Amino acid sequence: MAAGAPRAILVLYMGAPYESDLLATLLRLVEAALDRGHRLVVWTCGGATTVTQRTLGPAKPRNPLAVAQRYPSTARLVKALVDKGAGRLRWYVCRQCLEERGAVEQMAEVTVKAPFHFLPCLDEADVCLSVGVK
């Protein structure tokens, strides 16, 4: 593969999404890769399956200390990235993990897959990254 050529990137995102800056890192990484023309698959497992719940809505609850500001929910941020990717970003959610956590109402832009579908994603990828649990 030529240097700088678009690649197929698989990112496995696992663990508790709000305990650190890993979610922000993931979203920035995905956006930067899309800006460079890469194709991406994001596979979420564990607690990370909760970031794309349809029930999160478009905005986080208001912060009483910053009443004038509204911040987007994680679901809205993911939707914006999927839209920006125009077919180059596929976001998968592990069915077993989401069912264990009760996160069954996922947004329309993501696809729920059985755990064994992870292997074909791995085979198709030029580069694989793991974000989250060590």
> Average pLDDT for consecutive 10-residue bins of the chain (134 residues)?
80 85 92 96 94 88 74 92 96 94 93 93 93 75
Q: For the chain, what is the domain count?
A: 1
> Could you tell me the CATH number of the domain that includes residue 67?
3.40.1260.10
**Cα–Cα nearest to 73, from 62, 86, 84, 88:** 62
| Predicted structure pTM score | 0.88
The mean of the pLDDT values for the chain is 90
Inside any domain, residue 2: no
Please check whether residue 121 lies inside any domain of the structure. yes
Give residue 1's pLDDT. Answer: 57
**CA quadruple 49, 114, 79, 26: dihedral sign:** positive
Which pLDDT does position 58 carry in this prediction?
84
68 domain-assigned: yes
The pLDDT, as a whole number, for residue 63 is 73
Q: Which domain holds residue 104?
A: 8-131
In a domain, 78, yes or no: yes
Distance CA 92, CA 80 (A): 15
Examine residue 3 and state whether it is found in any structural domain, yes or no: no
Give backbone dihedrals phi and psi of 72, rounded to 5 degrees, phi first.
-70, 150
Distance spanning both ends of the chain, measured CA to CA: 29
Spatial separation of the C-alpha atoms in residues 67 and 90, rounded to whole Å: 35
Helix (H) or strand (E) holding 118: helix 118-124
What beta strand segments (E) does 30-121 contain?
A: 39-44, 89-94, 111-113
H-state helical runs in 4-85: 22-35, 74-85
